Amino acid sequence: MTSVEFRAQEYRSDTTFLDVAFRYDGGTDSGWEIFREGRKVLELPPGYRLLKSLWCGVCATDLARHFLPFPLPQVTGHEVVARDETGRLVTAEINASHLAVGSPLAEACPFCRRGLPTHCPDRMTLGIDRLPGGFAPWILVPKNNVVALPSGFSMQVSVLVEPFAAALHAVRRMCLAGSARVAVLGAGRLGLLVVAALRVTRATGGGSFSIEAIDPNPVRLGMASSMGADVLWPDADTAAKHGGDGACFGVVVESTGSRRGMEAAVSLAAREVHVKSTTGQETLGLRHLTELVVDEVCLGRFDPEAPDVAAGRSDAGKTAILLGAKVAAMAARPLEKAGWRVRTLRGVEDFPRPSPGAASGVLEQADLVIVDSMEGVDRAIRPWPDLERGLVLPRGAILLADVGQPRTGLLDPLLARGIRVSTSRCGDFHQAVAALRTLEELKIDVGSLVTEVLPVAELPRAFQRARAPENIKVAVDHA
């Protein structure tokens, strides 16, 4: 049995930190017990490896951790660079699913089995949900989540693998085909990485679009240029005027995480808005935009003449839920003719409530839900206030049927202009590492986005510095 003892700073609900004693006892084959101040607080099954933390980035999620629906206090941090038991430099994917730990339950879990392990309802998340994170000197990581880093990578590049993987996944979730111009609204931590992901995507045959960054800060616009942006705009209005009308970009990436940013993105987009960051507040009539992003669900308009368009995942099982009689009258026959299995509900109350965890069994959720209002969208995303589950499967779609309803808020761009809203969350680390190598060949230094590094003993100050407008990415060093 292996045993390590250490002290780490826990993040608390009042945004302060507390120095706490921890002990991990166990092994990869036997499982682990985690002790806090001498009391056992968590048991982990077999399949976790012990890694020595070296660096960890401070993420916007860390800064907003007290708003998330997971218990505190907790040792946070998930943008980790570590050393494994052989001395190799590694990083770690953050979702501890059945598949990640190599559990036999993965075969019974419909999420892990269908290629959705990052949405497994039984998962824990490194530094976010229960599993102590990278601001501790030791971390326990699912064995299938450990990713070796190339020897040539700097620590600055290595610590950005996790957020860059998310940015690259966002780009791969967009429909870039036919887009002449792609805008990134906001050149902050996320926006700059999205610019770099668009640049490497274009360089490897993913399109011939112009990459255009929009931000009022000239320094950040300069950094966007160094990440691969072709055109720089100080604000959305200037960008729109240059295009001749408001909807001048094929795709707009909303990375400001603000209601105003979302409104601007919708006005600028001709075909698609991609949302990666949100405020948690009602936006354009949608209360559950954050949850839409968490579940990676798309929004769009239902077209009876092309019922498969914008229907979500490419490997979808073609199951659809129709909410309400008007929706059923419009959508049932076209979907059935296209081979969809259709279920009509008068309301959410007719849908069987799933159990909170217990991922095993048959999924009742659908690949596609069709509604006729923004309230219907919200109810399809989170029908039960106390349960993080929707009527639609992760990476599925919610489509709006045009039944002559008033077009307020987001309904107008969705129905009148046919805008698609796509979303994304975590990305593939192996793909990210390969793309970062390509960016190095293109002479794009993603590591330059790490603007300050502090010792882990100064973690509270690192959080303060991460909020400073002059910083892009702050990291802490365990040395």
What is the arithmetic mean of pLDDT over 412-435? Answer: 94
Q: How confident is the model at residue 108 (pLDDT cuts 50, 70, 90)?
A: confident
State yes or no: pLDDT of 184 exceeds 70: yes
Contact 379, 348 (CB under 8 A): yes
pLDDT of residue 143: 97
State yes or no: pLDDT of 361 exceeds 50: no
pLDDT of residue 33: 98
Spacing of C-alpha 216 from chain mean position: 25
Homologous superfamily (CATH) of 159-276 is NAD(P)-binding Rossmann-like Domain (3.40.50.720)
Across 12-16, 19-23, 209-213, 360-364, least confident range = 360-364
pLDDT of residue 337: 92
Return the percentage of the chain with pLDDT > 90, whole number.
73
Across 224-233, 347-356, 458-467, least confident range = 347-356
Residue 120 neighbours by CB distance under 10 Å:
24
State yes or no: pLDDT of 328 exceeds 90: yes
Dihedral pair phi/psi, residue 4, rounded to 5°:
-130, 140
| Mean pLDDT of the chain, nearest integer | 91
CA–CA distance, 177 with 118 (Å, rounded to integer) = 27
pLDDT tens for residues 141-159? Answer: 999 999 999 999 999 999 9
Spacing of C-alpha 342 from chain mean position: 29
State yes or no: pLDDT of 468 exceeds 70: yes
**Which residues fall within 8 angstroms of residue 475, CB to CB, at 6 or more apart?**
55, 56, 57, 58, 79, 155, 156, 159, 450, 452, 453, 454, 462
Across 114-128, 355-369, 375-389, 424-438, least confident range = 355-369
pLDDT of residue 357: 55
State yes or no: pLDDT of 128 exceeds 80: yes
pLDDT tens for residues 28-70? Answer: 999 999 999 999 999 999 999 999 999 999 998 899 888 887 8
The reply to whether CATH 3.40.50.300 applies to domain 2-148+445-477 is no
Q: Which residues of 333-343 are buried (b: 16+ CB within 10 A; e: fewer)?
A: ebbeeeebebb
State yes or no: pLDDT of 245 exceeds 80: no
Contacts made by residues 260-269, CB under 8 angstroms, sequence distance 24+: 261/185, 261/186, 262/289, 264/185, 264/236, 265/183, 265/185, 266/410, 266/413, 266/419, 267/236, 267/240, 268/183, 268/185, 268/236, 268/239, 268/240, 269/183, 269/413, 269/419
Domain spans in the chain, listed from the N-terminal domain onward: 2-148+445-477, 159-276, 284-423
What is the arithmetic mean of pLDDT over 350-366? Answer: 63
pLDDT of residue 282: 84
